[in-house]
């Protein structure tokens, strides 16, 4: 189902049964369903890469990845952007990569406060085209804080690419320039999206179940970030 230039998963979308795909055995009892298989994720990223490369034209850009969940999306997206340039003699352009950390979640709840880490030394973004790469947009408030920070550096332009955007009644109304999937208001894990630092090693994007939330809650786990 397609709309607003992204794939929209309706609220009653159930995803796929775990038995149809391979997931790490240590997570089998902690997942409700596979929302988006890894192959579909890769195909969607390929199209996003083509759209971004087309829109940038011959303009160099700086990719700014939001850690930690965005690192896998960044790597796959940039690789596919390079492939687009490789087959276009006129559009090949250089790009740089940097990283930033934003923290607003504890377990599966937003704290309502945004902690910004690693923002020192962003003056190199001045007069540059910036592509912010994020894993998921929830309320949009966290991204708006980051965009306010970036605006102070006076970049030439800023575009946001997010692999997922969640439909929620508490949304600020912010919408990225590039969106892979619009999803229901469910807590997802996998493809580098975590729950207290777990599930990043899961290739598919899955819905965590209540047992998984309890099993990997901070009170039960001592895994450091």
pLDDT bucket at 120, cuts 50 / 70 / 90: low
Inter-residue contact 134 to 143 (CB < 8 Å): yes
Q: What percent of the chain shows pLDDT beyond 70?
A: 87
pLDDT exceeds cutoff 70 at 105? no
Catalytic residue among 12, 98, 135, 138: 138
Rg (CA), the chain: 18
pLDDT the model gives residue 139: 87
* CATH number, domain 2-215: 3.40.50.2020
Q: Measuring CA to CA, which residue among 196, 77, 69 is closest to residue 138?
A: 69
pLDDT the model gives residue 1: 39
Whole-prediction pTM? 0.87
Maximum Cα–Cα distance across the chain: 55
- Segment among 69-73, 80-84, 157-161, 167-171 with least mean pLDDT: 167-171
- By the 10 Å C-beta count (0-12 exposed, 13-18 middle, 19+ buried), 199 is classed as buried
Inter-residue contact 85 to 93 (CB < 8 Å): yes
pLDDT the model gives residue 58: 84
- Segment among 28-37, 40-49, 163-172, 175-184 with least mean pLDDT: 163-172
Q: Average the pLDDT over 91-105 and give the result.
A: 80
| Residue extents of the structural domains in the chain | 2-215
Q: Is 138 known to be catalytic?
A: yes
- By the 10 Å C-beta count (0-12 exposed, 13-18 middle, 19+ buried), 127 is classed as exposed
pLDDT exceeds cutoff 50 at 3? no
pLDDT exceeds cutoff 90 at 37? yes
pLDDT the model gives residue 2: 39
Residue-averaged pLDDT of the chain: 87
129-178 per-position pLDDT tens digit: 999 999 999 888 888 888 988 998 999 999 999 999 999 888 888 999 99
């Amino acid at each position: 189902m397609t709309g607003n230039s992204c794939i929209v998963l309706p609220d009653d979308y159930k995803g796929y049964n775990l038995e149809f795909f391979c997931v790490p055995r240590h997570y089998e009892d902690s997942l409700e369903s596979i929302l988006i298989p890894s192959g579909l994720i890769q195909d969607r990223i390929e199209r996003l890469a083509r759209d971004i490369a087309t829109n940038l034209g011959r303009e160099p850009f700086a990719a700014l990845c939001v850690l930690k969940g965005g690192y896998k999306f960044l790597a796959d997206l940039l690789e596919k952007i390079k492939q687009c340039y490789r087959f276009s003699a006129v559009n090949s352009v250089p790009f740089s990569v940097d990283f930033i950390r934003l923290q607003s979640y504890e377990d599966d709840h937003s704290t309502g406060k945004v902690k910004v880490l690693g923002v020192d030394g962003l003056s190199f973004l001045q007069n540059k085209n910036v592509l912010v790469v994020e894993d998921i947009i929830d309320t949009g408030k966290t991204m708006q804080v980051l965009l306010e920070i970036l605006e102070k550096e006076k970049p030439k332009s800023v575009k946001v690419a997010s692999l997922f955007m969640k439909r929620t009644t508490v949304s600020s109304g912010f919408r990225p320039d590039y969106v892979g999937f619009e999803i229901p208001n469910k807590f997802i894990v996998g493809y580098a999206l975590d729950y207290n630092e777990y599930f990043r090693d899961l290739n598919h994007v899955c819905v965590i179940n209540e047992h998984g939330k309890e099993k990997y809650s901070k009170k039960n786990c001592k895994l450091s970030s």
